[in-house]
């Protein structure tokens, strides 16, 4: 059974111009002990998706349809109190900016003890667990560092502390929202490596959101590519990155300057802009920017099967199958 | 080709105010950097946060005072140049800033923003409406943008406005601080292509400050790698990428995971975190994190070794090749 | 941000008004303030009687009939005195606030952008002035030089300058570090240009909000001083002296207290509402976020 199962999720925001359809029919699942990456550029709906999973949505957001199941139980039907019990225990999060996720006036130790309020342990035991967690994420001399304040740690250290805190309750699902974007490249590699080790140790599943394709390739087992509020492709990292089936995924991979081996002064781009999500275009959402556009694209493509674990929403796949 | 900018041993020192327990002191954000930029070429300065790359850029642009050393622009010393004198040069030396929207004065329209250089430099007799139109077209924005305000445009569009404004007066040297930070990959390419095209058209020299090595690889002629305010390696981009001499360069190259799950990367993992610039390590300043550290590194400061078209600061250059040889 | 999120070019003032009237609080504030300002401006045409003309036979009448709000102990028309009193109140408040803004801007921007020693000096000056309690200071000065409108204006202005100056100084200091100021400097903009074109417009917004909230305070201060007989000289009508008369004559007629008190309350409510609504509107980036 998958840890997280999202089925046909649609979310809209009420705006003065009309409904902004931020997510439309999004389905994805995070299997047990797997790391699933979500890739997409700004405006693809990543943040809306996360806020829907943890049920902390903007006041003008509405879930139009769909279901989100955590270990088989529907999240969307839970009461606010039940949901609060779930957050931090079954689902935890690591955010992008490590400089702002901690309370600046409390010591790290105090914050790490506080988040164990659910456990009936003595304060000494909680402190011991906190120190153990810090050691696990690779912070040297954890006992002493528990007495320090967040500002006494560097950005990389703070992100590790954030990860330690998120994993403290041994959650079933860790959602990491661009956790390495604010860090330097050499620290990014360190954090990713550590995250991979921790995942094996703690045995949780990770939903990892990033716009950095290289990081996803390095860390994740599976990847979901999102564009303008829809899932356009999903599958194992190897399948999707080696054999991208959707033109958007292909274009995205082509654009990554790290991917281009030959030195060039003319880098590939994806011409055009993301469509207006209030007045959606007919048919395929990517058609306006696609170099493989043809007549069939006037109709919205269904998710087609490339192989049993690799799917993409493009008419060309069906064509290839019948041919 | 002649040298446009020659930087020699530039140092930018900031005073640090002492707290209750520490005495006042100073830090060298840039600590003796030498660099040369030829006319019409692109030079990349790469480094992580706190490496002093932005401070160096701002010193060249005359926004920070260089404490010592020399910054020669076409043979003219810029260091200690009075602001009134420098102002005339600001037509030729322009800068693009990291935060695309934050670097635009929020209450001015795009038209006022991109035609500001004409007003500031007192250039009369130009039709500012026409100039605005010309500049917007140059960076690929529709003329309607002239009436908008910075908060009404996207980050990518604001970057273009930044370029338009920097290039309004046909400069000779463009200093671009993280010109692609925060942009999606699909737009990042557009931005870099735009800079490359304008460089070809206008014969501009570009000094690009970034932490993104894959960007540097494609668009620069020369590259300098900075660590704790010093250059640790500098040279022709292709040479540096093909045969990095300094282990930090190698680590940066390796820290750029490829979008390929099967890529066999030579992993050079650095130990720990970058040291504080307030407490510079002895000897080679990189030795605390260096995977190939030797006893000598902690004791002796390595010299700046120039060999052909590249230079580096390491006691044991290209040690990675030797360790590769050993394991192979 | 998508293109459709844009409105056509509209002037800054038009933009602010457009958003202001859509906020119920802002609209209420705007209406009240407009009524107060208009009645003060057109007092000679609105007031049915001469506010200082005595008419002893008609003294201490209740509301209704020939006198909308009745008359005082000397037979003067209360409604006319309220209208003219508003004029006096604003005659004090507007120059006071205007002067405080002007000097606050000047000193605050110099302190915020200038050299450190100058900053320290100006801040010292602000702190010194602020350490005087306004009312006591005003009473002392009035006791020394005698009550007059100008004295009241100068005293309240002097004690308000530090409030504005400090706000301007803090805003200027943070703007000075903003990247667009670096960008302007890199284009060669002079200090004068940076101050006037790039810093001034950005501190003005918060200052207008502060001023709108401050007007009731100044009006109240003037009324208070007049109540104590230290403000405007009788027989000039003032809400404060109306209150004073009402206080003395409370056993004869309660109307005078109401007539003096109501406009004070309305002024406070009106300007506070307006200030609160303006706060969300003057910053273009916040527009449309709260008032949906």
Instruction: Give per-residue pLDDT as tens, C35-61.
Output: 999 988 888 888 777 777 777 777 777
- State how many domains chain A has: 2
The CATH number linked to A22 is 3.40.50.300
* A258 contacts on B by Cβ (under 8 Å): 214, 256-259
Domain identity same for A163 and A129 = yes
B170, B196, B214 - which closes a domain: B170
Strand partners, A67: A7
Tell me which of A256-260, B59-63, B96-100, B291-295 is least confident. Answer: A256-260
| Three-state DSSP class for residue C286 | coil
DSSP string, C165-178: HHHHHHHHHHHHTS
Check residue A258 and give its pLDDT. Answer: 77
Q: Burial, B101: exposed, middle or buried (Cβ in 10 Å; 0-12, 13-18, 19+)? A: buried
Domain identity same for A73 and A120 = no
Query: Within an 8 Å CB–CB cutoff, is residue A143 touching chain B?
Result: no
Domain identity same for B29 and B144 = no
Tell whether B61 is covered by a domain.
Answer: yes
Tell whether B328 is covered by a domain.
Answer: no
A116, A144, A170 - which closes a domain: A170
Does B152 contact C6 at a Cβ distance shorter than 8 Å?
yes
Rounded to a whole number of angstroms, the distance from the CA of B255 to the nearest CA of chain C is: 29
* B59 band by pLDDT with thresholds 50, 70 and 90: very high
Domain identity same for B216 and B270 = yes
**pTM for this structure?**
0.83
Domain identity same for B116 and B131 = yes
Check residue A66 and give its pLDDT. Answer: 94
> C45 Cβ partners below 8 Å, 6+ apart?
none
Q: Tens digit of pLDDT for each residue in A119-153?
A: 888 889 999 999 998 888 888 888 888 999 988 88
**Mean of pLDDT values over A253-280:** 85
Check residue C277 and give its pLDDT. Answer: 87
* A37 band by pLDDT with thresholds 50, 70 and 90: very high
Check residue C167 and give its pLDDT. Answer: 93
Check residue B58 and give its pLDDT. Answer: 93
Chain pair A-B, CB pairs under 8 angstroms: 116
Does A16 contact C2 at a Cβ distance shorter than 8 Å?
no
Query: Within an 8 Å CB–CB cutoff, is residue C289 touching chain A?
Result: no
* B179 contacts on C by Cβ (under 8 Å): none
Rounded to a whole number of angstroms, the distance from the CA of B122 to the nearest CA of chain A is: 36
Q: Tens digit of pLDDT for each residue in C56-76?
A: 777 777 777 777 777 777 778
**pLDDT top residue among C242 and B71:** B71
Scanning every residue of chain A, which has its alpha carbon at the shortest distance from the alpha carbon of B184? A41
Partner residue opposite A276 with nearest CB, options C2, C288, C292: C2
**Mean of pLDDT values over A191-208:** 90
Distance of CA C238 to the CA centre of its chain: 16
- State how many domains chain B has: 2
Check residue C289 and give its pLDDT. Answer: 42
Distance of CA B285 to the CA centre of its chain: 21
* B205 band by pLDDT with thresholds 50, 70 and 90: very high
Partner residue opposite B186 with nearest CB, options A238, A260, A270: A270
Domain boundaries, chain C: 13-287
Domain identity same for B51 and B137 = no
- Decide if C73 contacts C252 (C-beta within 8 A): yes
Tell me which of A189-193, C1-5, C261-265 is least confident. Answer: C1-5
Does A17 contact C288 at a Cβ distance shorter than 8 Å?
no
The CATH number linked to B190 is 3.40.50.300
Domain identity same for A158 and A260 = no
* A216 contacts on B by Cβ (under 8 Å): 259
Scanning every residue of chain C, which has its alpha carbon at the shortest distance from the alpha carbon of B63? C186
B144, B170, B196 - which closes a domain: B170
Q: Tens digit of pLDDT for each residue in B129-186?
A: 999 999 999 888 999 999 998 988 888 899 999 999 999 988 999 999 999 887 888 8
Domain identity same for A305 and A185 = yes
Whether residue B78 has pLDDT greater than 50: yes
Scanning every residue of chain C, which has its alpha carbon at the shortest distance from the alpha carbon of B98? C179
Domain identity same for B29 and B150 = no
Tell whether B147 is covered by a domain.
Answer: yes
Beta-carbon-side half-sphere exposure of residue B265 (alpha carbons within 13 Å):
22
* C188 contacts on B by Cβ (under 8 Å): 86-88, 90-91, 117, 120-121
Check residue C145 and give its pLDDT. Answer: 84
Share of chain A above pLDDT 70, in %: 98
**Mean of pLDDT values over B187-203:** 90
Rounded to a whole number of angstroms, the distance from the CA of A13 to the nearest CA of chain C is: 13
* A319 band by pLDDT with thresholds 50, 70 and 90: low
Domain identity same for A177 and A289 = yes
Check residue C183 and give its pLDDT. Answer: 92
Highest mean pLDDT among A97-111, C118-132, C133-147: C118-132
Domain identity same for A153 and A283 = no
Query: Within an 8 Å CB–CB cutoff, is residue A188 touching chain B?
Result: yes
Mean pLDDT, chain C, integer: 83
Does C4 contact A16 at a Cβ distance shorter than 8 Å?
no
Check residue C288 and give its pLDDT. Answer: 46
CATH of domain C13-287: 1.10.3720.10
The residue to which tokens 């557009």 are assigned: B190
Domain identity same for B236 and B258 = yes
Check residue C98 and give its pLDDT. Answer: 93
Domain identity same for B159 and B246 = no
**pLDDT top residue among A251 and B256:** A251
Domain identity same for B164 and B181 = no
Scanning every residue of chain B, which has its alpha carbon at the shortest distance from the alpha carbon of A258? B214
Scanning every residue of chain B, which has its alpha carbon at the shortest distance from the alpha carbon of C1? B154
Domain identity same for A201 and A61 = yes
Cα B256 to Cα B267: distance, rounded to the nearest angstrom:
10
| Beta-carbon count within 10 A of B275 CB | 18
Note down the domain range covering B56. 3-16+25-92+171-323
Domain identity same for A16 and A82 = yes
* B22 band by pLDDT with thresholds 50, 70 and 90: low
A170, A187, A216 - which closes a domain: A170
Does A211 contact B185 at a Cβ distance shorter than 8 Å?
yes
* B328 band by pLDDT with thresholds 50, 70 and 90: very low
Does C188 contact B102 at a Cβ distance shorter than 8 Å?
no
B170, B199, B221 - which closes a domain: B170
Cα–Cα distance list, A103 to A100, A114, A182, C66 (Å): 8, 12, 18, 67
* C18 contacts on A by Cβ (under 8 Å): none
Check residue C119 and give its pLDDT. Answer: 93
The question of ipTM being above 0.90 is answered as no
Check residue B156 and give its pLDDT. Answer: 86
> C83 Cβ partners below 8 Å, 6+ apart?
C39, C40, C43, C46, C47, C51
Note down the domain range covering A184. 4-90+171-322
* C288 contacts on A by Cβ (under 8 Å): 16
Which chains lie within 8 Å of chain A at 3 or more CB pairs, if any? B, C
A140, A170, A200 - which closes a domain: A170
Whether residue C291 has pLDDT greater than 50: no
Query: Within an 8 Å CB–CB cutoff, is residue A276 touching chain B?
Result: no
Domain identity same for B196 and B124 = no
**pLDDT top residue among B207 and A142:** B207
Domain identity same for B165 and B262 = no
Partner residue opposite A16 with nearest CB, options C2, C3, C292: C292
Query: Within an 8 Å CB–CB cutoff, is residue C292 touching chain A?
Result: yes
Check residue B134 and give its pLDDT. Answer: 92
Does B120 contact C186 at a Cβ distance shorter than 8 Å?
no
Query: Within an 8 Å CB–CB cutoff, is residue A186 touching chain B?
Result: yes
- Decide if B29 contacts B58 (C-beta within 8 A): no
Query: Within an 8 Å CB–CB cutoff, is residue A17 touching chain C?
Result: yes
Rounded to a whole number of angstroms, the distance from the CA of A11 to the nearest CA of chain C is: 18
Whether residue B20 has pLDDT greater than 60: no
Tell whether B115 is covered by a domain.
Answer: yes
Pairing mode, strands A61-70 and A4-15: antiparallel
Domain identity same for A179 and A199 = yes
- Decide if A95 contacts A163 (C-beta within 8 A): no
Does C1 contact B61 at a Cβ distance shorter than 8 Å?
no
Share of chain A above pLDDT 90, in %: 50
């Amino acid at each position: 059974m998958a840890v997280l199962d999202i089925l046909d999720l649609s979310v809209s925001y009420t705006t003065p111009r009309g409904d902004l359809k931020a997510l439309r029919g999004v389905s994805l699942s995070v299997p047990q002990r797997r790391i699933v990456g979500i890739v997409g550029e700004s405006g693809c709906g990543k943040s809306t998706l996360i806020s829907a999973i943890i049920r902390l949505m903007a006041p003008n957001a509405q879930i139009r349809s769909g279901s989100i199941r955590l270990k088989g139980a529907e999240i969307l039907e839970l009461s606010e109190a039940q949901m609060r019990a779930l957050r931090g225990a079954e689902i935890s999060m690591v955010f992008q900016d490590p400089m702002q996720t901690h309370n600046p006036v409390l010591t790290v130790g105090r914050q790490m003890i506080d988040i164990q309020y659910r456990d009936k342990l003595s304060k000494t035991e909680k402190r011991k667990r906190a120190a153990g967690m810090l050691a696990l994420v690779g912070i040297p001399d954890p006992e002493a560092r528990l007495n320090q304040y967040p500002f006494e740690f560097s950005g990389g250290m703070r992100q590790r502390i954030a990860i330690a805190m998120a994993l403290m309750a041994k959650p079933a699902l860790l959602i990491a929202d661009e956790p390495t974007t604010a860090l330097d490249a050499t620290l990014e590699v360190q954090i990713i490596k550590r995250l991979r080790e921790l995942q094996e140790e703690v045995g949780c599943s990770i939903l990892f959101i990033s716009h950095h394709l290289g990081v996803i390739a390095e860390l994740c087992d599976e990847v979901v590519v999102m564009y303008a509020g829809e899932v356009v492709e999903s599958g194992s990292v190897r399948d999707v990155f080696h054999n991208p089936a959707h033109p958007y995924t292909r274009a995205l991979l082509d654009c990554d300057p790290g991917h281009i081996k030959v030195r060039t002064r003319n880098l590939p781009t994806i011409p055009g802009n993301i469509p207006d999500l209030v007045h959606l275009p007919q048919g395929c959402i990517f058609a306006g920017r696609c170099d493989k556009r043809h007549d069939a694209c006037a109709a919205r493509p269904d998710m087609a099967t490339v192989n049993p674990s690799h799917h993409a929403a493009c008419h060309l796949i069906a064509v290839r199958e019948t041919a | 080709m002649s040298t446009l900018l020659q930087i020699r041993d530039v140092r930018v020192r900031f005073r640090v105010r002492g707290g209750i327990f520490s005495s006042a002191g100073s830090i060298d954000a840039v600590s003796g950097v030498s660099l040369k930029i030829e006319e019409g070429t692109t030079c990349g300065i790469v480094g992580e946060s706190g490496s002093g790359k932005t401070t160096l850029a701002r010193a060249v642009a005359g926004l920070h005072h260089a404490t010592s050393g020399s910054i020669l622009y076409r043979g003219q010393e810029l260091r200690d140049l009075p602001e009134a004198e420098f102002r005339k040069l600001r037509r030729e030396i322009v800068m693009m800033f990291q935060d695309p929207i934050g670097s635009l004065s929020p209450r001015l329209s795009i038209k006022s923003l991109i035609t500001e250089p004409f007003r500031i430099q007192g250039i009369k007799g130009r039709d500012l409406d026409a100039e605005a139109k010309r500049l917007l077209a140059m960076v690929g924005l529709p003329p309607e943008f002239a009436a908008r305000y910075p908060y009404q445009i996207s980050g990518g569009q604001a970057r273009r406005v930044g370029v338009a404004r920097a290039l309004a007066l046909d400069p000779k040297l463009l200093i671009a601080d993280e010109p692609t930070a925060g942009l999606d990959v699909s737009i990042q390419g557009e931005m870099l292509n735009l800079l490359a095209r304008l460089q070809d058209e206008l014969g501009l020299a570009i000094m690009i400050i970034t932490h993104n090595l894959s960007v540097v690889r494609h668009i620069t002629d020369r590259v300098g790698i900075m660590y704790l305010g010093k250059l640790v390696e500098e040279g022709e981009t292709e040479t540096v990428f093909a045969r990095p001499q300094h282990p930090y360069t190698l680590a940066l190259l390796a820290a750029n995971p490829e979008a390929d799950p099967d890529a066999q990367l030579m992993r050079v993992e650095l130990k720990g975190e970058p040291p504080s610039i307030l407490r510079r390590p002895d000897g080679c300043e990189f030795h605390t994190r260096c995977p190939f550290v030797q006893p000598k590194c902690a004791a002796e400061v390595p010299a700046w070794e120039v060999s052909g078209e590249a230079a580096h600061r390491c006691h044991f250059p290209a040690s990675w090749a030797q360790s590769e040889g050993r394991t192979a | 941000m998508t293109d459709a999120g844009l409105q056509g070019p509209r002037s800054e003032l038009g933009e602010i008004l457009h958003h202001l009237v859509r906020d119920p609080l802002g609209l209420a504030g705007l209406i009240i303030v407009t009524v107060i300002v208009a009645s003060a401006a057109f007092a000679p045409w609105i007031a049915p009687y001469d506010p200082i003309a005595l008419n002893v036979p008609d003294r201490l009448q209740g509301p209704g009939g020939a006198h909308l709000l009745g008359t005082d102990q000397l037979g003067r028309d209360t409604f006319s005195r309220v209208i003219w009193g508003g004029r006096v109140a604003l005659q004090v408040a507007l120059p006071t606030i205007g002067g405080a803004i002007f000097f606050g801007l000047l000193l605050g921007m110099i302190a915020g952008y200038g050299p450190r020693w100058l900053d320290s000096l100006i801040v010292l000056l602000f702190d010194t002035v602020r350490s005087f309690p306004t009312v006591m200071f005003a009473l002392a000065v009035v006791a020394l030089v005698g009550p007059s409108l100008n004295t009241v204006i100068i005293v309240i202005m002097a004690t308000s300058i530090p409030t504005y100056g400090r706000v301007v100084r803090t805003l200027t200091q943070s703007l000075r570090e903003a990247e667009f100021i670096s960008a302007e400097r890199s284009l060669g903009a002079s200090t004068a240009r940076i101050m006037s074109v790039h810093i001034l417009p950005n501190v003005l917004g918060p200052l207008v909000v502060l001023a709108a909230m401050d007007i009731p305070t100044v009006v109240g201060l003037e009324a208070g001083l007049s109540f104590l007989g230290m403000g405007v000289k009788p027989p000039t009508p003032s809400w404060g002296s109306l209150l004073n008369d009402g206080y003395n004559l409370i056993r004869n007629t309660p109307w005078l207290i109401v007539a003096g008190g109501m406009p004070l309350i309305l002024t406070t409510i009106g300007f506070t509402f307006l200030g609160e609504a303006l706060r969300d509107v003057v910053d273009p980036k916040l527009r449309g976020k709260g008032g949906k």
